[in-house]
Amino acid sequence: MKKIHFDADAGVHVMLDELLALSAQARGNSLAEVRRSAAARTGLHTSRWRGRGVDFRESRIYQAGDDIRHMDWRVTARSGRPHTKLFEEEREHGLLLLVDFNPSMRFGTRVRFKSVQAARIAGLLAWMASASGDRVGAMGFGGSIQHEVKPAGGRRGVLQVLRALRDWDHAAGTQQETLASALERARRLLRPGFRLILVSDGFSADDNAWPIIGRCAGRNELGCVIVSDALEHAPPPPGRYALSTNGIRQTLDFTNKTLRTQWPRPFNQVRDRLRGEFTRLGARVVEITTDADVRRALLPFTQRTTAPRDSSA
């Protein structure tokens, strides 16, 4: 008789082999530009600035608000009209993944934990960004994880991120960290032109996070992937269920009609607020459940558009 071996960690802990295998799903899919901001024109290659840059582009007639330090005195003298210099700057392009490892992520009733699905999402996004020629970095937060992988290019950059996701998942504890705290740390790694994509269930989001996200939107392209579980969308079949949270056991009676009706509301409120704040800033937002096909769910990130979309899977 042939024996079948089951991996006890499958779906509960992040497995490096699974993250490596996602490279096949990334083939033919690279991250596309989501939006262009008037405050920070983030193109795929170059952007025109009135200011110091890498290469001189051209001179044009002076306009109100131009920096007088960049006046083109030679052209001004020759034409008799004030001219200013324009410079073209090659902006850095990269992806910074902000991945939530708070205790609420270590939960799942379909196929895998939210934390494992979050790592798979981050891994596939890393492979896609690398296919676009972008540098890739990551930062974990929550569960006492306060580590980072500085953005680096090529396969080597992706592998550093994948190993970190595996290590952070295995080391995560029970300490809570707010999104605001994580964003303050993440801002040190961000450069103009970088994408910042948050992967979270939204329970870490606090009021102090929204102003910080707004400031990031002025310089960076934003994205958000909301991870959820089927049990957060609808109650289980009627019955009494024993739960344990941080060592505290309790029993929930899902034969109670009031409980069944009210059960999804707090989960919906958390997701709705996170989605609303990012969408308001023009960010692409998708929602992925623990049993969803990650490649299919992330396709909106590969589609070039000038308008934000909201997708769920």
Q: pLDDT digit string (tens) for 148-200?
A: 999 999 999 999 999 999 999 999 999 999 999 999 999 989 988 899 999 99
| Token couple for 19 | 């993250």
| Token couple for 198 | 């948050």
Domains recognised in the chain with CATH numbers: 16-38+92-231+264-312 (3.40.50.410), 53-90 (no CATH)
The whole-number pLDDT of residue 97 equals 98
The whole-number pLDDT of residue 63 equals 72
Cα 167 from Cα 143, distance rounded (Å):
12
Cα 50 from Cα 65, distance rounded (Å):
10
- Residues 6 or more apart in contact with residue 141 via CB below 8 angstroms: 98, 99, 100, 101, 102, 177, 179, 181, 182, 185, 204
Helix (H) or strand (E) run with residue 33 in it = none
Cα 125 from Cα 302, distance rounded (Å):
10
The predicted model gives 106-119 an average pLDDT of 96
Does this model's pTM top 0.85? My answer is: no
From 234, 228, 223, select the one nearest 287 (Cα to Cα).
Answer: 228
Percent of the chain with pLDDT over 70: 83
Cα 302 from Cα 28, distance rounded (Å):
10
Partnered with residue 86 across adjacent β-strands are 58
Answer yes or no: is pLDDT of 4 > 60: no
Q: In Å, how far from its chain's centre is CA 257?
A: 37
pLDDT tens by residue, 72-81? 999 999 999 9
Answer yes or no: is pLDDT of 107 > 90: yes
The whole-number pLDDT of residue 193 equals 82
Question: How many other CB atoms sit within 10 Å of the CB of residue 116?
Answer: 25
In this prediction, residue 55 has a pLDDT band, given cuts at 50, 70 and 90, of low
Label each residue of 43-95 as H, E or C: CCCEEEECCCCCEEEEEEECCCCCCHHHECHHHHHHHCCCEEEEEEEECCCEE
Helices and strands per DSSP (H, E), number in the chain: 9, 12
pLDDT tens by residue, 200-227? 999 999 999 999 999 999 889 999 999 9
In this prediction, residue 91 has a pLDDT band, given cuts at 50, 70 and 90, of low
From 165, 62, 127, 131, select the one nearest 295 (Cα to Cα).
Answer: 127
Cα 310 from Cα 160, distance rounded (Å):
30
